[in-house]
Structure 1
Amino acid sequence: MTDTQQRVAMGYIKGVFGIKGWVKIAASTEYSDSLLDYPEWLLSKDGKTLSVSVEAGKVVSGELQVKFKGIEDRDRAFSLRGYTIEIPREAFAPAEEDEYYWADLVGMQVANTDGIVLGEVKNLMETGAHDVLVIEGEYGQKLIPFVSQYIENVDNDNRTITADWGLDY
């Protein structure tokens, strides 16, 4: 893998479980076991990157626990604590129609239906009901619900989003 490939942070290793090298994962995916769809993970911390292979994984009481190949004891597993889990963007399955990966939306320019640029997507938030775009730009921070009532168009090729959103909202 080259350094030019986009890598997406998908969570981090928050601790160890047991004595046989298992780690506990704080996943930042919709479903914690979604990370098990990727057999190879990149772990990064303090400018250091490790490549690991998932040997086994399970969800216990809502928490993802993973065993990596070659990590056989608690001490080796503990040394991975705090590492960020990254997956190359090209490893993602294609999004369904009218579905988007958050990683693809971040950085897009958002304009309203009058053509006024509201800013750039800096982040997204989950509210339970729907996701919300966090936009920052010349007119300050805007929080726009990512629902069809407000989002007119997402143009992946031009990295733009058109929203039915006024400057005074």
Structure 2
Amino acid sequence: MTAAQADLKIDRPSVADGASLWRIARDSKVLDLNSSYSYLLWCRDFAASSAVARAESGEAVGFVTGYVRPDRPGTLLVWQVAVDEAYRGRGLAAALLDGLATRTVAELAVTTLETTIAPDNTASQRLFTSFAERRGAQVEREVLFDTDLFPDGPHEPEVLYRIGPLSDLR
């Protein structure tokens, strides 16, 4: 953790964090915003495979949501990564991702991380490729969901990034 992150704590989310996660996602203006209810459920049902960054006040100021794929128990799919605007530029998204990966490798026997990224999202592409470099892992890419699969209007394809193998770096 860098000096710019020293006042922050990376933790598991709790149901009480759901509203903050929803607000951070909404205010990002780039994430697909899910219902507030879904963030509450996520914090309850997928806390073991998600992470929040907390300010000294205890408020969530960044998050990574993920789940272990039921058909691939060694694979963590990262759903969303977001940081409150006031806390951006500190490397917090990378610290959240690193912390979550380290925890899920140790506790859930995760060996692979997956995420999907739209072709124009260069910030996420950099975040995940630099994560792979820090972990010494390979990155495989393929289109997972093509444009024509999305029923709600124009949507870029979602490219699957498969990163692995991951190892315990504690």
Q: TM-score range by the shorter chain?
A: under 0.3
Is the strand fraction higher in 1 or 2? 1
- Point out the structure with the larger helix share: 2
TM-score when scaled to structure 2?
A: 0.24
Q: What TM-score do you get using the length of structure 1 for normalisation?
A: 0.24
For the pair shown, which has the larger CA radius of gyration, 1 or 2?
Answer: 1
